[in-house]
Amino acid sequence: MDNYESFKSDVLRLTKIDLSAYKEKQMRRRIDSLVSKHDCNTYPEYVKLLTSDKAVFEEFVNFLTINVSEFYRNTDQWKLLTEEYAPELISRFGKNLKIWSAACSTGDEPYSLVMALSDLIDINQITIYATDLDKQVIAQAKTGIYSEKSIAGVPDDKKKKFFTKIGDSSYQISDKVKSRVRFQEHNLLRDSYPKDYHLIVCRNVLIYFTEEAKHEVYDKFAHSLVNHGLLFIGSTEQVMDYKNLGYKRRSSFFYEKEE
């Protein structure tokens, strides 16, 4: 299929998602498989379907936003957060921390943050701002229902305290945890960024972005953090040129904003 440049323009117009910021070979392969699934032979034919069929449109956005998520993903990094970095942030900034879970997908990450921090702060003092560009996954996150596989990494005491089993293999997270998270749609490549955050968590999303787009996002995160605030990234990621962006590398996946 040709006309991919024109297709990118159509997608930007329809969804506000800029495909130019994603690695083209990888993304185009994924899109082409979806186009073929709907028996479309050209991009214009698929765009026509996107504009006329709401279910196909929502499937496309969900497909683009690559929602692979699980609670306490990479448990050793969560242990480092709760045992070293979160206590340090509390000591420095107090218990009313401003925390942003960016590209939060189905809510596993912000809910993990609430549970992890509940060992250090009264749960009623915790507030997580959680954003994603996909309204479908935000709606799913708000329901708070997860598979057994999704919550496999949750410590047993937290499972017992914060989850209720429903049906054979599904679990619902407690309202006590849900009430501490405020969800909102946000596009990392287009929308303005909030300010004065003590901790920003953005994990396993930017691996799909071009180097230029990554640089732009990490730069904006730096401007969103207070001095000595922390950025927590995924186990497959690294912030290239972090010194020039104003970060100090604290460990493999934690970067501190320098004054």
CATH of the domain at 122: 3.40.50.150
Q: Classify residue 82: in a domain, yes or no.
A: yes
> Does 69 reside within a domain?
no
Q: Looking at the structure, do residues 41 and 154 belong to the same domain, yes or no?
A: no
Predicted local confidence at residue 211, as pLDDT:
92
Residues 51 and 80 in one domain: no
pLDDT of 160 > 90? The answer is yes
Q: Averaged over 77-83, what is the pLDDT? A: 94
Residue 70 lies in a domain: no
Please indicate, yes or no, if residue 154 is contained in any of the structural domains: yes
Q: Which residues pair with 132 in a beta bridge?
A: 185
Q: What pTM was computed for the model?
A: 0.79
Does 216 lie in the same domain as 188? Answer: yes
CA angle, 63 then 59 then 104, to 5°: 55
Residue 191 sits in the same domain as residue 105:
yes
87 with 197, same domain: the answer is: yes
Establish if 249 belongs to a structural domain. yes
Closest by CA position to 194, among listed 124, 241, 112, 128: 128
Buried b / exposed e over 141-158, threshold 16 CB at 10 Å, is beebbbeeebbebbbeeb
What pLDDT sits at residue 178?
96
Examine the domain organization and report whether 218 and 129 are in the same domain. yes
pLDDT band at 20 (very low <50, low <70, confident <90, very high): confident
Q: Indicate if 31 and 138 belong to the same structural domain.
A: no
Q: Does residue 87 share a domain with residue 58? A: no
Predicted local confidence at residue 68, as pLDDT: 53
Residue at 216 is within a domain: yes
Query: How many Å apart are CA 225 and CA 107, to the nearest integer?
Result: 22
Of 196, 242, 239, 210, residue with least CA distance to 99: 196
Task: Provide the number of structural domains found in the chain.
Answer: 2
18, part of any domain = yes
Q: Which of residues 64, 92, 109 is at a domain's end?
A: 64
Q: Is residue 92 included in any domain, yes or no?
A: yes
Residue 1, pLDDT > 70, answer no
What digits encode the pLDDT tens for the residues 168-208?
778 889 999 999 999 999 999 999 999 999 999 999 888 88
Predicted local confidence at residue 199, as pLDDT:
98
Residues 100-116: tens digit of each pLDDT = 999 998 899 999 999 99
Final residue of a structural domain among 31, 64, 97: 64
Residue 66, pLDDT above cutoff 80: no
For a pLDDT cut of 90, what percent of the chain falls above it?
Answer: 64
More confident residue, 195 or 235: 195
Of 9, 29, 33, nearest in space to 19 by CA: 9
Same domain for 96 and 136, yes or no, is: yes
122/94 same-domain check: yes
Res. 119 pLDDT band, cuts 50 70 90: very high
Q: Which domain holds residue 226?
A: 75-257
Q: Assess whether pLDDT exceeds 80 at residue 65.
A: no
Of 45, 64, 83, the position where a domain reaches its end is 64
Do 110 and 192 belong to one domain?
A: yes
Say yes or no: 36 and 83 in one domain.
no
Write down the mean pLDDT value for the chain.
Answer: 91
